[in-house]
Structure formats: structure tokens, C-alpha cells
Chain A
Amino acid sequence: MTSNIGIIIRREYLERVSKKSFIITTLFMPVFMLLLSAAPALIMSLNTSGSKNIMVIDESGKILPQLENDETVRFTSTALPLDSLMGREDLDGILVIDKQIISKPEMLRLYTRDAASTELTGNIENQVERIVERERIESYNIADLSKILEEVKVNVTLPTSRITDENEATESSTILSTVMGMVMTFILYMFLMMYGQMVMTSIIEEKNNRVLEIMVSSVKPSHLMMGKIIGVGLVAVTQVILWGLLLSIISSFVMPAILPDTMATDIAAYNAGNLDAASAANNIEMVQMFSALGSIGYIIGLFGYMLLFLIGGFLFYAAINAAFGSAVDNIQDAGQLQMFVVLPIIIGLVFGISVVNDPSSPLAIWMSFIPFTSPMVMMTRIPFGIPVWEIIVSLVILYASFIATVWIAAKIYRVGIFMYGKKPNLKELIRWARYK
């Protein structure tokens, strides 16, 4: 009889994996995701609309000579009054600088015909700031003052180390933990929603076209349900693993090519343990992050945890989905019941994102033990490094709860698949679960 579960798993798995839509999404999703993350840079580089022509009325006479032109903006001097320039459509903007600019740096204004881009205003602000600073320093008439000020400047970044269970310190990057946590929580959320829905719709479909009537004469309803849940679950695992492989292949070949040379040298120095924060060309946090991303062990460790929580969370929710699917005749009727599945998953996602600020708060710890929210919340917390016992307890609770939901779901399923016509509510489902 147990071999029948195997036959069903095989059918459910092959049916989905051999679908064109599965192959396409599996292959193109990682490419799409990478493109999406690179999109802002791409758009920027495509969006240069030539250099802007800015006419400058500099009443102080100190700013204009020091303004530098570049490929995006060109400044030209003028003595004409503002009014006479307003009508000129060949200009991209008129910059008016008050003669008191050095003492009152807010006394300047840019007039433009189109909305001024942040790139342009940022450029002008930076330049004027620098020039005013320089002018002020020089006005003190102290020799080498600018050099002294330069030497006084400091820039502190706080590297963090986490004390492991073996009481050793390991380096950790807060930014990286946050990013990894968010990404994995979101992937988990997506999979729980998508594949949970898949279990439900496919049961409704089987019920609707009466295949179930034939199936139940050779398979126990509970076996049928388990076969479907496991089959669909394996599809999810296949997809995640394929994505992981594809992403790591892409990143190991593509990332070195994209990263600037200075970053590569810094990473090499960091990995060798002799990176000097002061001399590094890049922010130490960024160096840490890219270094970790390039470290296979770190990625595989996180990925392993994600799989464990993905499988546990999927099984837990799929059983509930299966029970609901068996109870209704069409997907529209399922809406109301589905709220009981969708809501906790969304709550889990929201909490998962918010615990980033304090991954060790009591709320975060409790949420990561409750099976409804634990997969998402745990996935945010794990990258920050939490005690292993917490992960184990969370997993044990999750898998034990899965056994409970499957047991109850099987009872509802057994009754539900023969119920046609009426739309049951939660109370009725609970009564079904009590039938002999």
C-alpha cells in the first residue's frame, strides 16, 4: 500500500516538472532577478540626455571661475539680467548666485524650464558647497589650514563580531545579514503561497472532474493526499535547488567581471586577513559583504536552513490547503477558507521583515517558535547568527505541527472529497474531522 504513495508522488512530480511553464520559470527567473537588480544601473547609463547648458549669473564673482564642467553639465558666464534670459529656450537652466553667497550659502537659485533632475541639483550643490568651504578656509589666512582640516577628518565604521557557541569570534556583517534575511524570507513567502495554492487547486480540479472517485477505489484518501503534498513539495525543492545552482553559477562567473578592480584587491586582502580599513578603497562593510557572498560555506549553510524551513513550512501549510481544497467545489468558494492560510503567511512575512531591527527580541523568538510564522521569521533571524538550539527547537515544533495538521487534514479530506454542492465553513470542517 505504501508503494502506492510512491506511484502518486511520481505522477504528481512528473506532471509538474515536465510542464513548459515550470521549465521556463525555473530557467529564466534567476536571470530575470539579476536583471532586475542591475536595472537601476542600466537605466542610469541609458538615460544620459546629453550635457545641460546652464547660464550662470554670478554676482559674487567667486563661484563661477571654480565651477567645473563635465559630460553632464556645462556652465557659461553671462552679464545679462535674469528677465532677459527667461525667454531663451536654448538654455537648460539659469543659476543665480547672490553676492553674499560665502556668508549665506543658501542665497542661490536655479531656474529651469523642465523639472531639474536630482543629478543636476546634486552636482551644483556639491560644487558650490566645496567652493564656499574653500573660500571660507582661505578667508582665515592661516597657513596650511586646509591640510590640517583634512588630517583632522575621521570616518568610523563599526565592524561587528559575533561570539559563537564555541566562544570564538566570527566576523559578521549587519548589512549582509539584513539583506540575506530579507531575500530568503521573501523567497520562502513566495514558495509557501505559490505551492500551497497549487496543492489546493489541483485537489479541487481532481474533485471537479471526478478522478477522485476512481482514485479512492485503489488508494486510501490519506495516502492520496500525502502523495500529492509530497509530490508538489518535491517540485518546490527542485525549483529552489535549481535556482540556487543557477544563481551561484551566474554569480561565480559574472560577479568577478562586474566588480571594480579595487574591490577585488580589497576582498583578496580581507580574505587574507591583512586589509587595513584606512587604506582600503572601499567601504569595509561592502568588502565584508562581497567576501561573504563569495564564500561557498556561508551560502550553502544558509541555503540548507532555508530548505529545511521551506520543506517544513510547505508541509505544514499544504496539509491545511489540502483540507480546504477537498471541501469546496471551485476556487471561488475557497476564498473565504483560504484567508486562514494566507493571513498567517503574510503576518509571518511582515514580522520577518520587522524583526531585522532586533533579531533577538522576545517577540522575534516567540514568533520563530509558532509554526504559522516560524519559517519566515526564522529565516530573517538566522543570518544574524542565533543559538543553534533555537533553530532546532523551531524545526522540531514545525515538523511536529505538520504531523498534526496532516492528521486532521486527512480526516477532513476523506469526507470533503465526496461533498458536492454546498460551500462549507470552518465549523463544518471541524465537525467532519470528528467523523468516524
Chain B
Amino acid sequence: MELLKVENVSKHYSGHTALDDVSLTVKEGSIYGLLGPNGAGKTTLIRIINHITAPDKGRVIFDGHQLTEKDVTSIGYLPEERGLYKKMKVGEQAVFFARLKGLSRRDAVNGLKEWFEKFDILPWWDKKVEELSKGMAQKVQFIVTVLHHPKLLIFDEPFSGFDPINAELLKNEILNLKQQGATIIFSTHNMGSVEVLCDDITLINQSHNILSGSVEDVRRTHSYGRYRISFDGDENRLLEALGQHVESYKFIPADIRGKSLSLKLRDENDMREIISIANDTVLITALNREVPSMDEIFIQTVKTYNAEK
């Protein structure tokens, strides 16, 4: 069951195209990674989902109907560039934002006190925002985003400004929210956290959706034809012998496994043949399928796309 469907959305600004025919589907209760280099069009897409700007073409389906202004109360958005009113008191300000999301004053205060307690910032309730450290201000912003129990949460670089301990706290809270049934869109450059948190991803580059799917599928697809052979012997002879079976390779001089070659094969079906050729040339000590990290997939996919352009 999908909570959000973006269908063929395009958005042009004078002189440049921010989004070109982008589609994606976010399943209910999942964490969806929205990835891409700076300036790819992620923020524009997030603003369209938030009903801040309207798409030129295409449409957004939220919870089974076309996205309307009213749905904004069912969405919580933590923008990448975020600030608070400096002169306002912390608690008062949090209540203000909660009320804008449709909570009554009493519900807002009760909910906020709970969260403040959890995040250890309750003593700061009556302090002015300008007295807060950056990390504490980020906590307040996070709380304000999730307080009204939105169906859809959008976090843009939520971990920036947090020390490792608080980042861990935040990560657990995000997983908690998922368990309670929230759907989360997660935009970040931190691929490590994508591997840990996300179920599905979309990679946007130069206003196009260039890669979509579940993290497992994406990684499996990208592991196609990737092997690492560790061996004793001459790497040049081995490469020569393998010849046209190899599309690209990387030589890894020596680690715990001895020296190895990281290979991208032209056709996995030639595997038996390849093993026998290798076996004739060198002494194979290990043979593994290589699963690339999201980082590698990101870099490689974007580079390939930009090169083809």
C-alpha cells in the first residue's frame, strides 16, 4: 500500500529545469531515501510534496487522493536549512509551531513536555532560543516536526549538527517513529545511514530520476558481475589470460587476504570458464561476490549518467 505517489512531475524555473518527468512511489510505513548530488532537484521535489510549490506537469497522490493544502497537517518536514525565532522562548516557540500544525494549545504543551523530557532539554523551556547550542536547537526543530504525529515525515539531512551520541539517539527515534507506523522520506548525503535506515531509494541527478528501487535490489543489481579474486601469482598474467571476459578491474596489492583483483565481468554466465582460466594461471586463495556500498553505487551511477550525457 503506497502512501505517496509522485507521477511524472516536472518543474521549470526561468532558464533551468529543476525536475524532469520524475516519478516515485513511497510505501506506507517504509523509510525512503531521496538521494542525489547538490542541486539535483531534491529540494524542489520535497517542496512540491510539501505543497509549497506546484509542479508544472504531473501530479502528487497522497494517501489515495491528489495532494491538497489540507494534507500539509499530515506531513512533518524538517528542512536542511532550518532556523528558529531567536528572540522567542524555546517552549513558547515550540507551541507556536505545533499550533500552526493544528494542535490545540493544551495538546501541544503536553506533547512537547514529553519530548523535551526524552531529549533532555526540558530545563531550557523558558530560555530564549539564542541561548541554545546548535545541537539543542536541532532537537527542538526535530520535535516540532514530529509532534503532531504526521503520516509522512520528511527529513532533510537530519543528522547535521549532531554529535555521534545524539545522532544515535535521533536514529533510534526515527526507527521508533517508523515502528509506530509513520512513513519517512529521508534525504541525505550520508550513504552509511541510508544503508542502515532506508528500505527504498531514489537517486535524482540533473533533474532526472536515474535510479529507483529497494536498497537490497539496488545493491544486488549493482553486484552483478562483481567478484574479487585473491590469489598467489602474477596479476598481469592473470589479467592477460582472462582477457575479454573482464570489463574493468581494480588491483588491490596486498591485504590480509594477500593480493587480489576486484573484477567487473562482462557476463556472469562465463563464471565457470573464468574460474578454470584463473585456476590454470594462478593459485586462487579466495573468490567472493562483491556487494558495492551505497556510496560506490551513488558515485558510479552519477558518473556514468553524466558521462553519457
Contacts and interface: CB of A to CB of B under 8 A. Distances in A.
A15 B88 contact: yes
B97 A210 contact: no
Interface string A204-220: 00100111011111111
Contacts, number: 58
Given A211-B85, A436-B54, A436-B56, A218 B97 contact: yes
Contact of B101 (A11, A218, A221): A218
Contacts of B100: 4, 7-8, 215, 218-219
B96 interface: yes
B79 A214 contact: yes
Contacts of B72: 217-218
B86 A209 contact: yes
B141 interface: yes
A209 B83 contact: yes
Nearest to B76: A217
A218 B73 contact: yes
B129 to A, nearest CB: 10
Contact of B79 (A206, A210, A436): A210
Contacts of B79: 210, 213-214, 217
B83 to A, nearest CB: 4
A29 B53 CA distance: 45
A220 B47 CA distance: 12
A339 to B, nearest CB: 25
B81 interface: yes
B284 interface: no
B134 interface: no
B152 to A, nearest CB: 11
Contacts of B50: 216-217
Given A1-B69, A209-B86, A216-B52, A7 B144 contact: no
A217 B52 contact: yes
A127 B209 CA distance: 99
A95 to B, nearest CB: 67
Interface in B255-277: none
B87 interface: yes
Contacts of A7: 96, 99-100
B282 interface: no
A209 B14 contact: no
Q: A interface, by DSSP: helix, strand, loop or mixed?
A: helix
Contacts of A418: 47
Nearest to B55: A436
Nearest to B79: A213
B51 to A, nearest CB: 8
Contacts of B97: 214, 218
A431 interface: yes
A220 B54 CA distance: 12
Contacts of A214: 77, 79, 82-84, 97, 141, 144
B176 to A, nearest CB: 22
B88 A213 contact: no
Contacts of A15: 85, 87-88
Interface string A361-405: 000000000000000000000000000000000000000000000
Interface string A424-436: 0000000100001
B75 interface: yes
A187 B11 CA distance: 47
Contacts of A206: 85
Contacts of A4: 100
Interface in B8-57: 14, 47, 50, 52, 54, 56
Contacts of B88: 11, 15
Nearest to A431: B14
A11 B77 CA distance: 21
A11 B83 contact: no
A210 B86 CA distance: 11
A7 to B, nearest CB: 5
B83 A211 contact: yes
Nearest to B101: A218
Interface in A260-319: none
Given A11-B96, A431-B14, A217 B77 contact: yes
A221 B54 CA distance: 13
B1 to A, nearest CB: 25
A216 B83 CA distance: 12
A177 to B, nearest CB: 43
Contacts of B75: 217
Nearest to B148: A218
Contacts of B76: 217
Contacts of A209: 83-86
A210 B69 contact: no
**For A15, A206, A214, which residue has the most chain B Cβ atoms within 10 angstroms?**
A214
Interface in A1-19: 1, 4, 7-8, 11, 15
Interface of B: 14, 47, 50, 52, 54, 56, 69-70, 72-73, 75-77, 79, 81-88, 96-97, 99-101, 141, 144
26 contacts: A1-B69, A1-B70, A4-B100, A7-B96, A7-B99, A7-B100, A15-B87, A15-B88, A211-B83, A211-B85, A213-B81, A213-B82, A214-B77, A214-B79, A214-B83, A214-B141, A215-B100, A216-B50, A216-B52, A217-B50, A217-B52, A217-B77, A217-B79, A218-B72, A218-B100, A219-B100
4 tightest A-B contacts by CB?
A210-B83, A209-B83, A217-B77, A213-B79
Interface of A: 1, 4, 7-8, 11, 15, 206, 209-211, 213-221, 418, 431, 436
Given A209-B83, A219-B100, A436-B54, 10 more contacts: A15-B87, A213-B79, A214-B83, A214-B141, A215-B100, A216-B52, A217-B50, A217-B75, A217-B77, A431-B14
